[in-house]
Amino acid sequence: MNFVELLLSEKLKSKNPMLDILGSDRKILQIACQDFTNYLKVLWNLVGKEASEYELTNKLEELYQKEQKELEEFIDLWTGIWLKKWGERVKLLIGNEDTKRWNKITKIINNAEPIWRTLPNRREMQEVVVSTLVKNGEICGTLILSENLLKMELGEHRRKYANTKEQTLNVVNNTLRKAKELSRSKGPLIFVKIDKGYYNNGEV
């Protein structure tokens, strides 16, 4: 476990004792860590910086040593907001539930995959979208949402986009507009498909 995981696992567990953070719910901890890191990058103006991960960890460790109580209170507050967002934004699809909608989205995203893999600056594109989501109050699943939004834009207009700077800029601008609209929407945005057997086995 890294430093961020250690800080968050305690808070998640205290807010929801039913979570098996080190077992079947480890994915929830991983997503929470990604989101917390992305949130801090925006808060501390580290978006786009090459050594942002290193700087962020250093700053967190320093805060933990000098202002542990304040940092823990902040993480406690953030975790509460994040779990509320998780409840609103993540929907588990059991078996074949809602597959029509799911299949349509998956098809568009899969169509974009070959283009996405050829983009040399996809990490930077994603960081800009993540930053917009966070600034608009969307703090849950930011990495997943940013990648899917970019792929949806590429997949829907794949004939229009080639790997040129101008067209890449168009992809980002269109995606940023959609990210802002998304932040104003209600209901689930992330659909997690799980097998019916997952529940039958008594793992949840």
Are 167 and 119 a contacting pair, CB within 8 Å? Answer: no
204 in any annotated domain: no
140 in any annotated domain: yes
Last residue of a domain, one of 90, 116, 135: 90
Last residue of a domain, one of 75, 90, 105: 90
175 in any annotated domain: yes
119: helix, coil or strand? coil
Instruction: Give the pair of three-digit tokens for residue 174.
Output: 């269109």
How many domains in the chain? Answer: 2
Instruction: Give the pair of three-digit tokens for residue 193.
Output: 């498909």
Both 123 and 139 in one domain: the answer is: yes
The residue-averaged pLDDT of 22-39 equals: 93
Read out DSSP for 64-113? HHH-HHHHHHHHHHHHHHHHHHHHHHEEEEETTTTHHHHHHHHHHHHHHH
Both 52 and 118 in one domain: the answer is: no
Question: Does the pLDDT of residue 198 top 50, yes or no?
Answer: no
- Predicted confidence band of residue 41 (pLDDT cuts 50, 70, 90): very high
Min mean pLDDT across 18-22, 41-45, 146-150 is at 18-22
50 in any annotated domain: yes
Read out DSSP for 135-175? HTT--SSHHHHHHHHHHHHHHHTTTT--S-HHHHHHHHHHH
201 in any annotated domain: no
- Predicted confidence band of residue 151 (pLDDT cuts 50, 70, 90): very high
Which pLDDT score, from 0 to 100, does residue 59 have?
A: 94
Question: Does the pLDDT of residue 133 top 80, yes or no?
Answer: yes
The residue-averaged pLDDT of 50-60 equals: 89
User: Residue 99: which residues within 8 A CB-CB, separation 6 or more?
Assistant: 93
User: Residue 47: which residues within 8 A CB-CB, separation 6 or more?
Assistant: 41, 127, 128, 130, 131
Instruction: List pLDDT tens digits, range 156-181.
Output: 887 776 667 778 889 999 999 999 99
Question: Does the pLDDT of residue 77 top 80, yes or no?
Answer: yes
Both 101 and 83 in one domain: the answer is: no
Both 116 and 43 in one domain: the answer is: no
pTM (predicted TM-score)? 0.88
Last residue of a domain, one of 90, 110, 143: 90
Both 30 and 52 in one domain: the answer is: yes
Question: Does the pLDDT of residue 126 top 50, yes or no?
Answer: yes
10 in any annotated domain: yes
Which pLDDT score, from 0 to 100, does residue 194 have?
A: 56
Both 74 and 135 in one domain: the answer is: no
Both 99 and 182 in one domain: the answer is: yes
202 in any annotated domain: no
Both 168 and 111 in one domain: the answer is: yes
**CA-CA distance, 143 to 60, in Å (whole number)?**
21
Q: At CA 80, angle to CA 25 and CA 9, rounded to 5? A: 40
CB-neighbour burial class of residue 49 (10 A; exposed 0-12, middle 13-18, buried 19+) = middle
Of 144, 47, 126, 40, whose CA–CA distance to 86 is shortest? 144
Look at 27 and 82; give whichever has higher pLDDT.
82
DSSP, res 190: E
Structural domain boundaries enclosing 61: 3-90
